[in-house]
Structure 1
Amino acid sequence: MTAGTVRIIRLVHQWSSLISTVFLLLLCLTGLPLIFHHEIDEWLGYAPQAKPVLERGGKATVNEIARAALAHAPGKVLQYLAWDRDAPGLVIAYTNHAVDGPPDDAVLTAFNIADTSAAGPVGTGPMLILLKLHTDMYVGLAGKLYLGGMGLLFLIAIVSGVVLYWPFTRRLDFGSLRRNASRRVLWLDWHNLIGITTLVWAIVVGGTGVINSWAELMLMRWQATELAGMVAPYAGMPRPSQLASLDQVVTNARAAAPAMEIAFLAFPGTPFTSSHHFAAFMRGDQPLTSRLLKPVLLDGVTGEVTGAAELPIYLKALFVSQPLHFGDYAGLPLKIIWAVLDLFTIVVIGSGLYLWIARTRRRPQRAAMVPGRRA
C-alpha cells in the first residue's frame, strides 16, 4: 500500500468518524439502557403484569378482548391486536382516532386474557423517550434516514480503520500498549486495540441499525409490490362496514399456517394490509423463527383466507435485525455482553475524538518549530 493511498484512507477514516461522532455517541448512550428496556420497565413499574388464567374460568376470546379495548378507548378504533410471546397472558390493543391514523397517535394498552381487564399502558415512561431519540430524534422518517446515514458513515469508519490497522501496527505485537510513550500514543494504542476487539460487534450493530432506519421505506415497497399483487382482485373496494368475527379470523389464520402462532392482527385499512382484508402475521416457535413473520390475508367480511405468502428477503432481514440490534435473542447474558461492547464503543468514539483534538493542537506547535517560519 503506497503512502498516498494510506493518506487517503486515513482522511476517509478521520472525517467519516468526526462527522458521525456526536450522533454515534447519542446512539450509544441511548442504546445502552434500551438493551435492558424490558427489565427497566419492570423495575420502574411500566410493564403490565398479567393475571393468572384459571382453568375453570378459561381464556377470553379475541372478540371479548376487542370489545374491552374499544370500551376502554371511547371514540377510537382498533388498528392492531398483538400477542407478545414474552407475556402470554396479555393481548396488546392498538387504538387510534382513525384506522389509518399515524403510528405516533396510537395508544397501546395491554389486556388480560383471564378477564379482559386492562393491565396497563404499553410503551410509556422514560424508555419511550430514549427509544424516540435513538430511532428518529423526534423528527419522524427524516430523522430515521439521517441516523441511518450516520450509521453508514460509522461502517465506512470501521472498514477504513481496519485497512489502516495493519500499516500503523505492523511493527507492534497485537495488543501492545506503549506505556512509556506520550499520552496521545497510549490512547492511540487503546483506540486501536478496543476498536479491533469490538470489530465484529460494531459491524453487526451498525449494519442492523442502518437496516432498521429503512423500515418505513421497506414497508412502503412491500405495500406497493407484493401486497398490492395479493389484493389486486379487491382493488377499490371500501372498508367493510361489518367486520368478520375476530375469533373466526384468528382460527382461520392458524389453520392456514400450521405449527405457527399469531404475532399480530392488522385490521382492514391499516398500513400492513388492504382496505378490505385482515392480515394475520404468523411466527414460528423458535428464537429465530419467531422473528420471521408470514402474512396471511383474510377477507374482512367473511374471515376466509384469501392468500398467504412468504415475506420478501428485505423484510425478513428487517425483522431479524430489529431484536439483534439490541441483543434481544438469548436472554440476559447476551444483553450484558451487548452492554459491555456498547461501553467499549463509547471509549473508541471518545478516544478517536481526543486523538483528533490532540493532533490539531500539535500542528501549530510543529509550525512554530520550523526554522525560519514567522509566528
Structure 2
Amino acid sequence: MSRNTVRAWSLVHKWTSLVCTVFLLMLCVTGLPLVFHDEIDGLTRHEAPIVAQTGQPLLDLDQVLDTALKARPAEVGLFMSFDTDRPVVNVTSGPRPDAPETQMHFVSIDQTNGKMLTPSTASPVGKVMDFILRLHTDMFLGLPGYLFLGFMGFLFFIAIVSGLVIYAPFMRKIAFGTVRASRSTRLKWLDYHNLLGVVTAAWVIVVGLTGVINTLSTPILQFWKTDQLAEMTAPYKGKPVPIQLASIDAAVKTAQAAAPGMRVQFVAFPGGSFSSNHHYAVFLQGATPATQRLLTPALIDAETGQLTAVRRMPWYAQALLLSQPLHFGDYGALPLKLLWAVLDIVTIIVLGSGLYLWLARRRTPAHDAVIPPPEAAETAR
C-alpha cells in the first residue's frame, strides 16, 4: 500500500472517529447497564414469585382484559403481551385504538387470581433504566434521534474498517501486541489504542451494525405494514374498527391452532400500529432458543373471530428481530452478558484513548510531535 493511500485512509479514520466518538462513548456507557436489564429488573421486583399450581385454572384472556379495563373504563385495549417466566399478562390500553404512546396505560395482571401488579418501572431504579434506554436509543428525539445515532454508528463502522487498514503497515514493522511503554506517553497510548482496537474489532463491528439496524426499526416496520400487512388485509381495506370485538381468548387459540408448536408473544388490537382496523394481529414465536426471536403474525378477523392469514415476517424484519437481542447479548445467559460488558468497557477505552491521542497531538509542539498512526511504523525502526 502506497504512503498516499495510507494517508488517505488515515484521514478517513481521523475524521469519522472524531465526528462519532462522543456519541459512541455515550452509547457504550449507557449500553453497559442495559446489557443487564433483565437482572436489574429482577432485583427491583418486590412482589412474591407467581407460580401456577398444577391443575390450577387460569383466567382466560377475556377476563384479564375485562379486569384491566374496569380500572380504565374510558379506554380500549391496544396490546396484550405475556411474561415467559410466570403467569402474568400485560395489558396496554388507551383512550382510542390509535392513541399515541404518551396516552397509553400499562398494567400487569396475575393470571392466577386477577390481581394487578405494580410494574418494576414504578421503582426509582426502573425509572432510571427507562431514562437510560431512551437516551441510548433516540436521545429523547424520536425518529430523528434514531436516525442520527444510526448515522453515528455507520461512521463508527467506517472508522473501524479504516483503522484496520492503516494498522496493517504498522504490523509489518512491530510485533503484534507490542506496547512501547518506555517511549512517550502518547506513543504508549497509541499502541494500546491500536492493540485493543484490533482485538475487539469483530465484536465492535457486530454490535455496531446491529445497533444501526435497530435504529431503522421504525422505517422497517412501516415498510412491512405498507407491504405485506397491507397485502394480507387488502380485502378489508377501508373497513372501520368493529364496534363489538370478538373474544380475544378465542382469537389467540385460533392463531395457535394455525401455527402449532409456537407460543404467543403479543397481540395487537384492531386500529393500532401493528394491526389493521379489522384484525387482531397475534404475533407468535418459536419455542426453541434458535426460533424464539423470529415472529409469525396471524391475523384474526376481530368481528367474526375467523383466521384471515398467517405469514412469516419477511427477511428485512427478521434481520431486525435478530439484531435486537444480539446487540445486547441477550442470546446467552449471564456469562455472555459479562463478556459483552468486558468488551464494552474495552471499547470505551479505545474511544477514550483515540480522543486523547487527537487532543495530545494538537497540544504537542511540532518539533516534539509523535508520528501519527499511519506513519507510526517508522518509529519502530
TM-score by length of 1: 0.94
The equivalent of 2:350 in structure 1 is: 348
Report how far residue 169 of structure 1 moved: 2.5
Q: Quick one: distance in 2 between partners of 1:279 and 1:309?
A: 11
1:82-121 counterparts in 2 under 5 A? 82-85=81-84, 87-121=85-119
Deviations 1:178-198 (A, max 9, x none): 111111111011111111111
Amino acid at match of 2:279: H
Q: Quick one: distance in 1 between partners of 2:70 and 2:10?
A: 62
Alignment coverage as a number of residue pairs = 365
The equivalent of 1:360 in structure 2 is: 362
The equivalent of 2:68 in structure 1 is: 69
Q: Quick one: distance in 1 between partners of 2:28 and 2:337?
A: 14
| SS of aligned partner of 2:284 | strand
Report how far residue 365 of structure 1 moved: 5.0
The equivalent of 1:317 in structure 2 is: 319
| More divergent stretch after superposition (56-65 vs 117-126) | 117-126
Amino acid at match of 2:73: P
1:174-193 counterparts in 2 under 5 A? 174-193=176-195
Conserved in 1, the CA contact under 8 Å of 2:17 and 2:155?
A: yes
Closer, same or farther: CA 26–299 of 1 in aligned 2, 3 Å: same
The equivalent of 1:4 in structure 2 is: 4
The equivalent of 1:251 in structure 2 is: 253
Report how far residue 56 of structure 1 moved: 5.3
Q: Quick one: distance in 2 between partners of 1:174 and 1:230?
A: 56
Closer, same or farther: CA 70–137 of 1 in aligned 2, 3 Å: same
Conserved in 1, the CA contact under 8 Å of 2:41 and 2:120?
A: no
Closer, same or farther: CA 51–88 of 1 in aligned 2, 3 Å: closer
Q: Quick one: distance in 1 between partners of 2:51 and 2:60?
A: 16
Amino acid at match of 1:12: V
| SS of aligned partner of 1:290 | coil
The equivalent of 2:30 in structure 1 is: 30
Report how far residue 363 of structure 1 moved: 4.7
The equivalent of 2:43 in structure 1 is: 43
Deviations 1:228-262 (A, max 9, x none): 11100000000000000111101100001011011
Identity of aligned residues (%): 46
1:154-303 counterparts in 2 under 5 A? 154-303=156-305
**Larger relative contact order (C-alpha < 8 A, sep ≥ 6)?**
2
Report how far residue 38 of structure 1 moved: 1.5
Conserved in 2, the CA contact under 8 Å of 1:109 and 1:122?
A: no
The equivalent of 1:81 in structure 2 is: 80
Report how far residue 107 of structure 1 moved: 2.7
Q: CA RMSD in A?
A: 1.6
Amino acid at match of 1:7: R
Conserved in 2, the CA contact under 8 Å of 1:49 and 1:119?
A: no
Q: Quick one: distance in 2 between partners of 1:360 and 1:298?
A: 64
Q: Quick one: distance in 2 between partners of 1:302 and 1:347?
A: 59
Conserved in 1, the CA contact under 8 Å of 2:50 and 2:86?
A: no
Report how far residue 299 of structure 1 moved: 0.2
Q: Unaligned 5+ residue runs, structure 2?
A: 370-381
Q: Quick one: distance in 1 between partners of 2:94 and 2:163?
A: 47
1:145-156 counterparts in 2 under 5 A? 145-156=147-158
Report how far residue 106 of structure 1 moved: 2.5
Q: Quick one: distance in 2 between partners of 1:27 and 1:346?
A: 10
Closer, same or farther: CA 33–293 of 1 in aligned 2, 3 Å: same
Q: Quick one: distance in 2 between partners of 1:255 and 1:214?
A: 33
Deviations 1:299-319 (A, max 9, x none): 011111100111111100101
Report how far residue 89 of structure 1 moved: 1.6
Conserved in 1, the CA contact under 8 Å of 2:51 and 2:86?
A: no
Q: Quick one: distance in 1 between partners of 2:218 and 2:45?
A: 31
Conserved in 1, the CA contact under 8 Å of 2:296 and 2:313?
A: yes
Q: Unaligned 5+ residue runs, structure 1?
A: 368-375
Conserved in 1, the CA contact under 8 Å of 2:13 and 2:158?
A: yes
